[in-house]
Chain A
Amino acid sequence: MKTTGDLKTKPMYLNIGPNHPAMHGTLRVLVEIDGETIVSSIAEMGYLHRGFEKHCEHGTYTQVIPYTDRLNYISPLMNNVGFCMAVEKLIGCEIPERVQTIRLIICELSRITDHLVCIGTNVVDIGALTNFWYYFNAREKIYDFIEKICGARLTTNYTRIGGLMRDFHSGAAPELRAIMKEVFRATKEVRTLLEKNKIFIDRTAGVAPFTGEEAKDLGFTGPCLRAAGVPYDVRKAQPYMGYETYDFDIPIGESGDTYDRFLVRFEEINQSCRLIEQALDRLKPGPIMTNDRRVALPPKSEVYTNIEALMNHFKLIFEGVRPPPGEVYSATEAANGELGFYIVSDGSTNPYRVKCRPPCFPLYAAYPLMINGGMIADAIAVLGSINIIAGELDR
């Protein structure tokens, strides 16, 4: 038999995406393969670029909030909160207790849905469909709840600068507790199916590992950084919305491989359930909008009886919120890492510049490094585990 040593070989190029079900949205990667092994690769993005930042400059601050739904469309509530917090930091208005608690609950709910989708679809990509159904049943319950609080499943637009669009419906707390039980059970089932599963471990353990130093160098945040053993979480490091008063843990991994990224996400779901339980215990009746007249509409009784309130109302409706000139960077811990909003204000009603720091941007930038030298099938497993959301990546 002849060996390939006598034959000429040349590299083969394979285009994965942008229209490929495993490429989660609109990502493209061009790989050079030798057999099934990836020799080198180039990642491309931008297929979902909609000019978020340019649009922001041409609307009022309140008009930006619906755009933020479309950033990370798996956890839109968290983006609403992130942007509103940045503007509130710029204005410096006090946020009522109940708003803080509700925001914390919806943030953790979004974190759960994000992780459920990430793990669910990721294991489908590597051939385990059952888990997907367990998780999507639980996710559906959460989406029903989100629909009840704001009328939409995805385009939530739930927060307002200085408060919320509307309050929770009556009976929301027992409903949420039941959902948390459901999520907890689903996670338990999926973990039982996967965690000690030989096939699953073979597919994920040791695939695309990262040391903590490498992960920091590449700008990772969120579960991918924590899987590499760096315990950085904005909720603990620089707490906001009263996270410092809650009792929760930050799970960290050791080797930073795909398996650890799974485990970190599994545990974060449980920790989010814990946070929601605690927040529900603290949820007291109260206003859902700040009293600050720079951002909040005055009550109707005042608008009809006094001229200042009437003018205030018109100014806010016709012109919008008017923060002082300045610049601000506000970071929140989104499901996938640090979500930062850098806002420059020139004192007018339109933001002068809004820069969104999406957590998956550095992750996708490092994607070629992760897959080089591995198999094509691993590339798909890795892509799911870093949870790239094209809406947020391309903005």
Chain B
Amino acid sequence: MGKVIDIFKARWVGSVLDSHENYGDETILVKREDLFFILQFAKEDLDLHFDLLMDVCGVDYLGQTPRFEVVYHLYSVSKNHRIRIKVRVPEEDCWVPSCVSLWRAADWFERETWDMVGIRFEGHPNLKRVLLFEEFQGHPLRKDYPINKRQKIPEPLEQP
């Protein structure tokens, strides 16, 4: 092990901004512009072959710039290795490319990230809230959303 990040670093010179292997989890931080191509590379490269998208989530680092981070956890069944790919997203320009075209599993994971943290996934076919209701204001997993804030549940729609 320990070779997965080296493959990324060798192929994507300049795009991999940072990497670590703390706690045995191989992690790379990449540039947003190249994120989609790096994910595509991760899936299609024969030595990497990450065929399972395990998780997509967003983290809000309030007070840092760029503020948000989107975290992808990938796993390869055939090679039995994992990678965590992270990308930083600024608050005023809060989007990352969608990877639904690579793994269909990304569909709802990305919707959840949009719902909870408020990061837009450009190119997503149906970017709607998934856990909360459509009329919900704000994104609850942002650090500036108070934990005890309550919102009124809207009146049910008239049946047609």
Partner pick for B132 among A49, A89, A216, A238, CB 8 A cutoff: A49
Count of B interface residues, CB-CB < 8 Å: 37
* Residue in contact with A55 in the complex, picked from B60, B105, B147, CB distance below 8 Å: B147
Is B137 an interface residue, CB under 8 A from the partner?
no
Asked if A315 lies at the interface with its beta carbon under 8 angstroms from chain B, I say no
Q: CB distance B22 to A327 under 8 Å?
A: yes
A364 CA to B108 CA, complexed, in Å: 9
Contacting residues, chain A, for B54 (C-beta < 8 A):
219, 221, 331, 338, 340, 357
Q: Given the complex, which residues of A lie within 8 Å of B88, measured CB to CB? A: none
Sample of 7 more A-B contacts, CB < 8 Å, known A45-B131, A51-B147, A326-B23 = A57-B147, A217-B103, A328-B25, A340-B73, A342-B57, A361-B108, A362-B108
B108 engages A89 (CB within 8 Å): no
Contact partners of B80 in chain A: CB under 8 A: 237-238
Whether, in the assembled complex, B87 has its beta carbon less than 8 Å from a beta carbon of chain A, the answer is: no
Question: Can you list 17 A-B pairs with a CB-CB distance of less than 8 A?
Answer: A46-B129, A49-B131, A58-B147, A90-B23, A219-B109, A238-B80, A326-B23, A327-B27, A327-B84, A329-B84, A353-B60, A353-B141, A357-B54, A357-B55, A361-B108, A362-B108, A366-B104
Contact of B108 among A55, A328, A352, A365 (CB under 8 A): A365
Prevailing SS type, chain A contact patch: mixed
Is there an interface contact between B59 and A326, defined as CB atoms closer than 8 Å?
A: no
Q: Which residues of the other chain, A, contact B23 by a CB distance below 8 angstroms?
A: 89-90, 92, 326, 328
Q: Report whether A355 and B52 are in contact in the complex, using a CB–CB cutoff of 8 Å.
A: no
Which residue on chain A has the smallest CB distance to residue B77? A232
Chain B 13-57 interface 0/1 with A at a Cβ cutoff of 8 Å (1 = within): 000000000111101000000000000000000000001111101
User: Which residues from chain B sit less than 8 Å from chain A, CB to CB?
Assistant: 22-25, 27, 51-55, 57, 59-60, 71, 73, 77, 80, 82, 84, 103-109, 112, 116, 129-133, 140-141, 145, 147
CA distance A140 to B14 in the complex (A): 59
Q: A49-B131, A219-B105 are in contact. Are A327 and B52 (CB under 8 A)?
A: no
Please give, as numbers and ranges, the residues of chain B lying within 8 Å of A45 by CB-CB distance.
Answer: 130-131
Residue of B nearest to A355 (CB): B57
Question: What is the number of contacts between chain A and chain B, taking CB atoms within 8 Å?
Answer: 97
A354 to chain B minimum Cβ distance, whole angstroms, is 10
Which of these, B77, B104, B107, B141, contacts A230 with CB under 8 Å? Answer: B77
Contact of A327 with B25 in the complex, beta carbons under 8 Å: yes
Which residue of chain A lies nearest to B73 when distances are taken between CB atoms in the complex?
A329
Give the residues from 301 to 359 in chain A that come closer than 8 angstroms, CB to CB, to chain B. Answer: 326-329, 331, 338, 340, 342, 344, 352-353, 355, 357
Given the complex, which residues of B lie within 8 Å of A221, measured CB to CB?
A: 52, 54
Q: Which residues from A are CB-within-8-Å of B59?
A: 344, 352-353
Is there contact, CB below 8 Å, between A361 and B109?
yes
Return A317 CB to nearest CB of chain B, in Å. Answer: 23
Check A219 against B147 for contact (C-beta < 8 Å). no
Asked if B103 and A51 sit within 8 Å, CB to CB, the answer is: no
> What is the chain A residue whose CB lies nearest that of B86?
A327
> Within 8 Å CB of B105, what residues of A?
217-219, 362, 365
Q: Tell whether A394 is near chain B: CB-to-CB under 8 Å.
A: yes
Distance of A361 Cα from B129 Cα, bound (Å): 14
Could you say which residues of chain B place their CB within 8 Å of the CB of A57? 147
